[in-house]
Structure 1
Amino acid sequence: MDKSAKKLERVRELLDGGEPSLAELAAAVGISASHLQRRFSARYGLSPAEYLAQRKLGTLKEALRRGGHDVSAALYDAGYGSPSRVYEAGAARLGMTPARYRAGGAGEDIRWSLIDTALGRVLVATTERGICAVELGDDDAALEAGLRAEFPKAHLQRVDAGRDEFLGPRVRAVADVLAGKRAQVDIDMLGTAFQKKVWDALMKIPKGETRSYAEVAASLGAPRASRAVASACAHNRLAIVVPCHRVVRGDGSLGGYRWGLPLKERLLQRERAA
C-alpha cells in the first residue's frame, strides 16, 4: 500500500471511530481538506461526510433490527445528536421512519401481486410512493416469503393479478417493461445515498448497450468504487426496471446477476436484437 493509500485508510479508520470534521481529518493525515475530499471520494465512492452518514445509518439499522433498544436509545447509540436529525435525513434512506423500520415496517401499506410475464412469475409490490419490489422466481411461496421477511409487520395486501385501480396500472407497466416494451414506471427506491446514485446511473444506460462496473463508477465521479457499484447492483430489488443486467465486467464477461446469469444473457441479447 503506497503512502497516499495509507493516509486514506487512516481517514477511514478515524471515521469509523468517531465523528471528526473534514478539517480535523486533513490535519490528522497532513493533506489539505480539498485534496482529501477528492482523493477519499475517488477511492471509496463517497465523500468523508457521506461515508460517516452511511456508517451511522448502518449502526442504527443494526440496532433497530436487533431489538433491545427503544428507538431514542438506538438513535443516540448510533451517533445521532437528536432524533430530529435522523427523522429528517435518515428516514428517506430507511424508506420509513426509524420506529417503523424497527417494527418491521409497521404502519406501512404495501400492495403486492404475483403475475405471469414474458420472463415468468414475478412479484410486484408498491408503496404509496411507487414500485418498491420487482422479484423474479419460479416459487410463489418463496417470493411471498421474501417480501414478508423484508417487511414482517407492514400491512401487506395481496391483490390478485393487480386487479385494482391503484396497483393494476403499475403491474401492467412492469409487465410491459419485462416484455421489452417502453413503459413509465413510478418507483420507490429504498437504499443508501450511494446505491440510489448507482441505480439512477443504470437507468440512463441506453437499451442495447452495456457499461462496465468501472465505467459506472467513473460516471459518478468515483473511479475506484467499482466494488461498491457491484454491491449496489446486487442489492437492486427492482428487476429489469432498474437495469443492473446492463452492467458487465471490464473484459466484457457478464459478471454477476441476482436473478441468474442465463437470464442476464437472455436480456442483453433481446435488447441488442431490438
Structure 2
Amino acid sequence: MRDTAELTISHPDEEALWQSLLRREAVPGWFYGVTSQRIVCRLGCPARPPLRRHVRFFPGVAEAVGEGFRPCRRCDPDGARAAIHAGAVRMACAAMEAAIEAGEDLPSLADLAARAGYARHHFLRLFREVAGLTPHAYAAALRARRLGQALAEGERVVDAVIGAGFSSESRVYEDGARLLGMTPGTARRGGAGEVIRTAFGESALGPVMVGLTARGVCAIEFGEDEAALRRSLAARFPQARIEPADEAAQGAVARVLEWVREPRAALDLPLDLRGTAFQKRVWEALRSIPPGDTLDYAELATRLGMPRGARAVARACASNGIALAVPCHRVIGRDGALRGYRWGLERKAALLAREGGTATAK
C-alpha cells in the first residue's frame, strides 16, 4: 500500500491525477470538476468516472466553485453535509448525556431522530457513520463511563449501578470486564488488588516506561523523565500496587527499545487493553497497519465500516495508552499532515521517519 503522504502532489501532474480518478484513489488536497455537469468532486468519489475531455483538476473546492462548479452531493467535497450530519449527532449525544446526568430516561431513537429532523432509519445510519456505533451502544458507553466515575469516587457498587441507569447489578458484574476493563469491585478500588510491574529505559525518543499486569502490557508511554511516567501510570490506576520490574517486564521494555532502534515488524507483545468495545475495535485495526504505511483517519474509519466516523476514530486513537504496540502514530490527516499524538508530534514524526514514512508535521 502506498503512504497517504506520497499521494500529495505539489506540482500537478494531470495524467497522475487522471489515473487516480480512474482508480477512485483519494489524493489529499486535489479535486476534479466535470464540465458537462458543472459539479466538483473529491478524488476518490464513488461516482462513475466521467470522460477525460470533461475533466478539469483543481487544488481546492473554492477554486472550482469560483468557476461555477457546485459541490457533488455524493462525495461532499467541501464537507458541508458532513458538518451538518456531525452537528445533528453531537446534539443527540448531548441529549443522551444530559439525560444520564439528570438520572432521567434516555430519549428513544425516534425522539432523537425527530429532534434532528431526520427519519428514524436515516438518523440511525448517520449516527453509526459519524459516531462509529449505534445510539444504543453510545448510551451504554455513557452509562459505563458514569459507572466508572462513580466507582472511582468510592460509591457503593449497588448505588453506582442504579445511578448510571443499569437495570441489574448482576448484569454489570457479568459484563464488568467489557464495560470497564475490570470488575466493578476493582474499578471502585481504583485498581486496588492489581499489581502492575514497571520497567524503564532510555530510547532514541526519550525515556520510555512499560507497565505489565498479569494479563499483559497495559501501558507503554514516553515522557520527560521517570517521575512523570510514574505519575501518568498512577493517574490511570490510582489504587493499584505499582512495583519494580520482574523478568517479564524487563524483557518487554528491552523489546520496546529494540523496536525503536529497528522498527521493521509489528511489536508483538501480550496486551491488556483497557477501553470501551469501540475503542478496542479501533486499536485492533491500528495493529493491522504495518510499519512504513500510514492511513488517514477517514480511511481508517471507512475500513471499520463507518465512512463518516473520522472524528470518533481520532478520539479512540487519542485514548490509546499503549504506544508502538498499538501504533496510533501511523494515522495522519487527510492532507498528509500529522495530527495530535499523545506523546508529541515530534515523536510521531520521528517514529514515521524510522519506519520509512514520509509525512511531516504542519
Query: Which TM-score tier does this pair reach, normalised by the shorter chain?
Result: 0.7 to 0.9
Specify the SS of the correspondent of 1:269. helix
Taking the aligned partners of 1:138 and 1:30, their CA distance within structure 2 comes to: 49
CA change 1:273–1:154 in 2 (3 A) is closer
Taking the aligned partners of 2:253 and 2:86, their CA distance within structure 1 comes to: 48
1:173 corresponding residue in structure 2: 255
TM-score normalized with structure 2 length: 0.66
**Structure 1 counterpart of 2:130, one-letter code:** R
> 1:10: how far off?
6.6
2:272 corresponding residue in structure 1: 188
User: Is 1:149 aligned to residue 235 of structure 2?
Assistant: yes
CA contact (8 A) 2:282 2:316 kept: yes
Please provide the CA RMSD for this pair: 2.8
Alignment match of 2:224 (pick from 138, 150, 164): 138
Alignment match of 1:108 (pick from 194, 199, 204): 194
Which of 230-239 and 166-175 deviates more? 166-175
User: Is 1:122 aligned to residue 204 of structure 2?
Assistant: no
2:301 corresponding residue in structure 1: 217
For structure 1, the 5+ residue unaligned runs are none
Task: Name the one with the larger helix percent.
Answer: 1
1:91 corresponding residue in structure 2: 177
Specify the SS of the correspondent of 1:188. coil
CA change 1:46–1:106 in 2 (3 A) is same
**Structure 2 counterpart of 1:247, one-letter code:** V
CA contact (8 A) 1:57 1:90 kept: no
Bigger radius of gyration:
2
> 1:173: how far off?
2.7
Task: Work out the percentage of aligned pairs sharing the same amino acid.
Answer: 45
CA contact (8 A) 1:111 1:167 kept: yes
For structure 2, the 5+ residue unaligned runs are 1-79, 100-104
Taking the aligned partners of 1:250 and 1:208, their CA distance within structure 2 comes to: 17
Paired residues in the alignment total: 269
After TM superposition, the structure 1 = structure 2 runs for residues 11-160 of structure 1, keeping only pairs within 5 Å, are: 12=93, 15-16=96-97, 17=99, 18-19=105-106, 34-67=121-154, 69-159=155-245
TM-score normalized with structure 1 length: 0.86
User: Is 1:250 aligned to residue 334 of structure 2?
Assistant: yes
Which of 260-269 and 171-180 deviates more? 171-180
Which of 17-26 and 94-103 deviates more? 17-26
Alignment match of 1:262 (pick from 346, 350, 358): 346
CA contact (8 A) 2:264 2:355 kept: no
Taking the aligned partners of 1:125 and 1:9, their CA distance within structure 2 comes to: 35
Specify the SS of the correspondent of 2:233. helix
